[in-house]
Structure 1
Amino acid sequence: MREDTRISFQNDKKLDVTYERLQHGAVSLQCFAIYLSERWGIPRYEYILDQIDVFKSRVMTTAGGVRWMRWKEEAAELEQEIGSVHPASKAGQIPWGLLSVEGADGFEGSLFYVRMCYEMGVRFLGITWNYANWAADGVLEKRDGGFTEKGKKLIELCNEIGLLLDVSHLSPTGFWELTERTERPFIASHSNAKSICPHPRNLTDEQIRAIVAMDGRIGMTFVPWFVREGGEKPVRPEELLPHIEHFCSLGGQNSLMIGSDFDGIDAWIQGLEHPGRYPEFAELLCKHYSEELVRKWFSGNALSYLKRHLPESEGMHGKPVK
């Protein structure tokens, strides 16, 4: 949307996630990722600001509206609104939006810029994309380094202000270093189980157990090559079931949520191409699991995390963030 001002969030087919599809899929909360494309050259802070402006001026103002979630009180408000995993009871509901930044590159090494983005409403930070930046190494960086000295200060700042951290693209060494340094449980926003599909972006059993132990969250992703090796046949929604089963076998039933990666992919699971297909996916899961578990994966686990770890709104006025 930053690259093409003609794209409408209402119903533009260039997007996976649109307002109409959120309504059709009965989606109550969508995370909107600020991502700095490699096409734009050297990452700059202004590119992050541009996308915050796109969210405010072109997403929130869509006919029907999108509410901006920033505080734990708002997560509690949404929890009260949530009904069944089935869409009928939520038709016409105004969805909420969360803002995240994928990759700290655009902060240009400035912790002041990070703090300012938090104050402007960003609530999640994916520390790296796939490669190294000023804070840490990404998962595809061959040297597999951890955090730089400034990256360690970034962890301290995020813990202090309540900016939640996301490890989906972080190097293995960085992952384990963060488990030792963070005071708040982190998330892996869009990763699957490496034991089921051995892609480097997926999580090992040890990483899954570590996230579960700290009461973090894991968003299962719909990137086809993170679901199944090989691209000869289209990936079907049923092929997510072994990942779900594996997460549950490691104690992750209360940590699992929907991670998708919509609008971050150029190939899709057949039958799960956009959020308007969630009702069918919910029906599929309910054939294999209890409705209570499916509710947790579609909303309960994410909301319990947000209620616990988003800052209280009084933090905006100079009082301690809890």
Structure 2
Amino acid sequence: MNTRSVVDFHCDVLSKMTDNVALSFVNDCQLDVTYERMKSGGVVLQCFAIYLMEKWGHPRFERILQGIDVFRNRIVPAGMGLNWLQYKEEVKEMTNNKPWGMLSIEGADGLEGELFNLTTAYELGVRFLGVTWNYANWAADGVLEKRNGGFTNKGRQLVELCNEIGMLLDVSHVSQAGFWELTELSKRPFIASHSNAYDICSHVRNLDNQQIKAIVDMDGRIGLTFVPWFVKEGNGEITSKDIIPHIEHICELGADKHLMFGSDFDGIDSWITDLNHPGKYPAFIELLLKYYKEEQVTSWVSGNAITYLETYLPSRKG
């Protein structure tokens, strides 16, 4: 890996492609993330979230299976083909020659309260689980649930099974109470795949100082996101330079080795002016190099994510 190699821990292109069977991952202009843009942007690894759109009705496991199928049959074969990352041994095989992809589930809703479905998703290649989206489900409360509850009894069983089989956890949409409960429940360090610093932009989805420190203490990771309203408050133009205060603040809290990126491309309908798809990553990296040492920038855009995956992904040998 080098300074120009990028790992992006969150995008929602799978939902768009599930919703519209005509979309092509190779270079479709209706998508933010495409094979060609991954290549031109130096994205060596993209995590694809399986998010069940609200307009699809009651969340069903069938929809999760459909998302896995779209990844397997319409994304992995795209262009010259993506490699599918599932095990820690594969991380060392990653190069700039061919992009890689991972699978996550954004919200346990579609598991329908059946722990067997979690095991099935894992066996089919899913490696990260975001316990909630913004609202409550059978497992826990989301960050927009006003009661700010934690985990249900079934949700605690879900975490226990994740620990057992090697499914890694993502807290980007989990309630405050759920976040702190998970610090006690999870045996492996979790990530916040697409969240920024609350002290810089006071959106409820961003992490406060104590949450950031907790993730650092457990050796988790924080993926800074490019959702404009998570980056800067107000109605003015938002550029990639507005991400820098978040980097500064999070690093001041000791997270220099725990910072990564999770764009949320294809999950938003407005963008940072000069950072609206993966092909813009090289210019963003050049911006960062004006302010920071190359070693730091390399760790943020890929290195920290890679070390996490090398350490905490399950082993192929079990």
TM range (shorter): over 0.9
The answer as to 2:73 corresponding to 1:70 is no
Please give the root-mean-square deviation of Cα atoms over the aligned residues, in Å: 0.6
Alignment partner, residue 59 of structure 2: 43
2:188 to 184, 193, 214: 184
User: Structure 2 length normalisation: TM-score?
Assistant: 0.94
Q: Which residue of 2 aligns with 1:163?
A: 167
DSSP-derived class of the 1:239 partner: helix
**Alpha-carbon distance in 1 for matches of 2:19, 2:109:** 19
Q: Please show how residues 1-322 of structure 1 align to structure 2 within 5 Å.
A: 1-78=17-94, 81=95, 90=96, 93-231=97-235, 233-315=236-318
CA distance in 2, matches of 1:64, 1:181: 41
The one-letter code of the counterpart of 1:9 is: F
Q: What is the distance in 1 between the residues matched to 2:154 and 2:208?
A: 27
What is the deviation of 1:77? 2.0
Could you tell me how far 1:63 is from its partner in structure 2? 2.2
* Structure 2 counterpart SS, 1:118: helix
Specify the alignment match of 2:14 in structure 1: none
- 1:148-195 per-position Cα deviation (integer Å, ceiling 9, x unaligned): 000000010000000000000000000000001110000000000000
Give, in angstroms, the shift of residue 76 of structure 1. Answer: 2.2
Q: Sequence identity, in percent?
A: 62
- Tell me the alpha carbon deviations over residues 38-82 of structure 1, each in whole angstroms, 9 at most, x when there is no partner: 00010000000001000010001112100000000011222xx3x
| Structure 1: gaps (5+ residues) | 82-89, 316-322
CA distance in structure 1 between the partners assigned to 2:134 and 2:294 by the alignment: 36
| Structure 2 CA distance for aligned equivalents of residues 234 and 55 of structure 1 | 34
Q: Distance in 1 between matches of 2:242 and 2:250?
A: 14
Q: Could you list the runs of 5+ residues in structure 2 that have no partner in the other structure?
A: 1-16
Alignment size in residue pairs: 302
* Matched residue SS, 1:178: helix
- Structure 1 Cα separation of the partners of residues 185 and 111 of structure 2: 21
String of CA shifts for 1:120-151, please: whole Å, max 9, x gaps.
Answer: 00000000000000000000000000000000
Q: Structure 2 counterpart of 1:154, which letter?
A: L
Q: Deviations over 1:229-274 (max 9, x none)?
A: 112x221000000000000000000000011101111110011000
How far apart are the structure 2 equivalents of 1:280 and 1:63? 24
Distance 2:114 2:234 in 1: 41
TM-score, normalised to structure 1, is 0.93
Higher RCO (CA-CA < 8 Å; seq separation 6+) = 2
Q: Give the secondary structure class of the aligned counterpart of 2:206.
A: coil
Greater than 6 Å deviation, 4+ residue runs: none
Provide the C-alpha distance between the structure 2 equivalents of 1:136 and 1:75, rounded to a whole number of angstroms.
31
Q: Which amino acid counterpart does residue 242 of structure 2 have in structure 1? A: E
